Amino acid sequence: MTPSDSVQYLRGVGEKRARQLAKLGIVTVGDLLRFYPRDYLDYSHPVPLAQAPYDAPCAVRATVYGRQPPLRISGGRTLYRVSAGDETASLLITFFNSPYAADKLQPEREYLFWGKVGGGLTRREMTSPDFLPADSRAPLAAIYPLTAGVTSAYLSKLAATALAALPAPDDPLDADLCARLQLPALREALQQIHFPASRAAADTARRRFAFEELFCLELGMKLLRSRSRRQSGARMTVCDPEPFYRTLPFAPTGAQRRAVAELCRDFAGVAPMNRLLQGDVGSGKTLVAAAGMAIAAQNGFQSALLAPTEILAQQHAVTLEKMLAPLGLRVALLTGSVKGRARRALLAAVAAGEADVVVGTHAVLGEEVAFARLGFAVVDEQHRFGVRQRGLLAGKADNPHLLVMSATPIPRTLSLLLFGELDVSVLDELPPGRRPVRTMAVGTALRARMYGFLEQQIAAGRQVFVVCPLIEQSGETPSGSEEMQAVTEYRAQVAQKLLPGRRIGLLHGRMKAAEKQEVMRRFAAGELDVLCSTTVVEVGVDVPNASVMVIENAERYGLSALHQLRGRVGRGAAESFCILVSDHDTPPVRERLAFLCHTTDGFAVAQFDLEHRGPGDFFGQRQHGLPDLRVADLAADARLIETAAAEAAALLAADPALRAPRHAALAAEVERLFANAGGAVN
């Protein structure tokens, strides 16, 4: 038998069972052995019946005395009861509508039972416990993800059958690597992950498979990247940012200078730049992009910047005009609002090379937009655009240099996976003079005081953001939870009761694009005092006059999302505030909100989120083509990620295409991993 053989031909599997297993993704024997347990029932430390806790599942050891007559109860159900006990107490075991489970318990035999124990001190009770013979050689019983008709016990039995029938499998990890990293070989690891001799053995097996996943993922990322590297049609020989720096009214930070130097090295290389510029809110990413545009112009190339919204494109155009006009560079704004004669004139200027920099929305990607000599493309807020959009922009020229920018700080280890095909530049310091936003967490009991404070800010000429998690109330609220603030109803309440006479705007994702643009324009122009919004303001409008961000139901958001929302204020000279409103007083919520109140470091916030909530806040919707990880934990396995990245780099330096015979099994596993993901990464 081989790993590629159909699981249907294993003993105990027929056509019907094979269809059930296929729902779990188990089609071959290899799929079965790589279908890892999600946890284990630990029978290794049974407690006497009289000492079993009432509030937590545990293992107990008891001898079966015999079966009691079935008992029929209302609803057509039948109770099957078994008497058992140890030297400290008796035990009544009950199964609902399951005579087969009761029949498996043989009188006079000793078993280990797992479950919650109830009853009194001398007569304990268990309902539908898991169990195994007391002399079992495997004290940990695997728990698998399940589907209808398939139990963990059945999967364990199949795994044992497959392991017994399978000859020594080809190991993707060679013996030297396993020895160096103290990882078990494949056969031993499969045995110990399905039938661990101890919790330590299970952990060691899990670590081996986690490393293997991360190692294969890193290898696949690097191989895809090397295959996509072509010769750039925009190689730049002049890379001097000093003329640009001298026109600025302030000195760039060290981090900005370092990022520009990294751009210069890419510009001078044979392959086109493919770089992520990652920086916290307000760290000055636009300046780095502007420096790159100035360098491109030195070399006779045009630049383009793609922004997710029209108002953000307008703001970028204004900022870049201020930075680049002193150098004589011409900045053009191309959005859907530019029509008719003005659009035709703008397109002609771009095609003739008379526009040095083109800033725009998706309109820049249109077929009618032709550049004379595009050499540098910038994508802002890269998570708003997929690979296809980035590819369309890059397709406007002969492999131009590409810079994608993100204001979402991502821990270094996670960025190795999220952006494996990109080089990464990090802006880890803020420009001087930027005042940190004061952050505070309050309950709704302080709402009246909070609105008094907002009134003071508005009276002083400032503006206020209010963010709510829903558009409108559905009328269905989970039992025991605080009713989430709906932005439409909230705005009406604010307008009528709390801030009477103030100009209050409404913004949410269901509005038409033109309506959203108009509301954002009015707020940016100071025509509105308050903007009640959903999280669509996370990326977009830049309003230096806005001094307060109120976030209702703050417990609903990850810290990274809260940090991004907080970044909408603090952009002007006035002191700014972020108020987190929540009545959820559980320890995890208190800890998270307190952490945000005491730090403004986006990378520290990102690391906290990764460790406490996992990677969901960074992936958002599933990244296109990123392979699923069955074992590796992106938060807990940070060191393994770094080890895997280093080992992958070393291996590819020796065998760039994994063509050596000794790497055949590894190359096949990499191919399998990425084939399951659709063959594309990010």
Which is nearest to 220 in space by CA: 3, 29, 416?
Answer: 416
Residue 476 burial class via C-beta count within 10 angstroms: exposed 0-12, middle 13-18, buried 19 and up: exposed
Specify the pLDDT at position 482. 43
Say if CB 156 and CB 194 are below 8 A apart: yes
Q: Return the higher-pLDDT residue of 145 and 121.
A: 145
pTM, entire model: 0.65
The dihedral formed by the CA atoms of 641, 647, 652 and 658, expressed in degrees to the nearest 10: -90
pLDDT at 379 over 80: yes
Which position has the token pair 């670590």? 207
pLDDT at 309 over 70: yes
- The type of residue at 292 is G
- Other CB atoms within 10 Å distance of the CB of residue 5: 15
Q: How far is CA 368 from CA 260, 302, 333, 347, 396, in A?
A: 32, 17, 15, 8, 11
Half-sphere exposure of 630 (CA within 13 A, CB side): 22
Question: Mean of the pLDDT values across residues 541-568?
Answer: 88
Question: Mean of the pLDDT values across residues 192-221?
Answer: 92
Q: Return the higher-pLDDT residue of 636 and 212.
A: 212
Residue 401 corresponds to which tokens in the numbers above? 């240099």
Which of 37-46, 248-257, 424-433 is the least confident region?
Answer: 424-433
Chain segment 570-592, per-residue pLDDT in tens: 888 889 999 999 988 888 899 99
- What residues contact residue 11 under an 8 Å CB cut-off, 6+ apart? 161
Q: How far is CA 301 from CA 355, 379, 634, in A?
A: 10, 17, 40
Specify the pLDDT at position 280. 76
pLDDT at 670 over 70: yes
Sign of CA dihedral 54, 55, 61, 67: positive
Query: What angle in degrees, to the nearest 10, is found between the helix axes of 186-194 and 152-165?
Result: 160
pLDDT at 384 over 50: no
274 DSSP β-pair partners: 402
DSSP state of 495: I
Question: Mean of the pLDDT values across residues 304-314?
Answer: 85
Instruction: Identify the band that residue 654 occupies on the pLDDT scale cut at 50, 70 and 90.
Output: very high
651-666 burial, b at 16+ Cβ within 10 Å, e below that, comes to bbeeeeebeeeebebb
- What residues contact residue 315 under an 8 Å CB cut-off, 6+ apart? 541, 542
pLDDT at 304 over 70: yes
Specify the pLDDT at position 637. 80
Widest Cα–Cα separation across the chain: 95
Instruction: Identify the band that residue 284 occupies on the pLDDT scale cut at 50, 70 and 90.
Output: confident
Residue 41 corresponds to which tokens in the numbers above? 């029932």
Mean pLDDT taken over the chain:
85
Instruction: Identify the band that residue 416 occupies on the pLDDT scale cut at 50, 70 and 90.
Output: low
Which is nearest to 644 in space by CA: 183, 276, 278, 185?
Answer: 183
Specify the pLDDT at position 461. 95
Question: Mean of the pLDDT values across residues 647-653?
Answer: 91
Instruction: Identify the band that residue 80 occupies on the pLDDT scale cut at 50, 70 and 90.
Output: very high
Question: Mean of the pLDDT values across residues 16-30?
Answer: 91
Which position has the token pair 């004379």? 372
Both ends of the chain: CA-CA distance in Å? 36
Q: Give percent above pLDDT 90 in the chain.
A: 46
Please state, in angstroms and rounded to a whole number, the distance separating the CA atoms of residues 242 and 240: 6
Please state, in angstroms and rounded to a whole number, the distance separating the CA atoms of residues 451 and 447: 6
Specify the pLDDT at position 682. 36
Chain segment 473-517, per-residue pLDDT in tens: 555 444 333 445 678 888 887 766 788 889 999 888 778 878 887
Please state, in angstroms and rounded to a whole number, the distance separating the CA atoms of residues 516 and 82: 67
Which is nearest to 211 in space by CA: 632, 649, 615, 626?
Answer: 632
Which of 164-173, 498-507, 573-582, 673-682 is the least confident region?
Answer: 673-682
Instruction: Identify the band that residue 433 occupies on the pLDDT scale cut at 50, 70 and 90.
Output: low
Length of the chain: 682
Specify the pLDDT at position 71. 93
Q: Return the higher-pLDDT residue of 510 and 394.
A: 510
Specify the pLDDT at position 55. 78
Which of 256-265, 609-618, 628-637 is the least confident region?
Answer: 609-618
DSSP state of 497: I
Which of 21-30, 100-109, 212-221, 422-431 is the least confident region?
Answer: 422-431
pLDDT at 624 over 50: no
Specify the pLDDT at position 104. 92
pLDDT at 610 over 80: no
Specify the pLDDT at position 677. 54
Question: Mean of the pLDDT values across residues 143-168?
Answer: 89
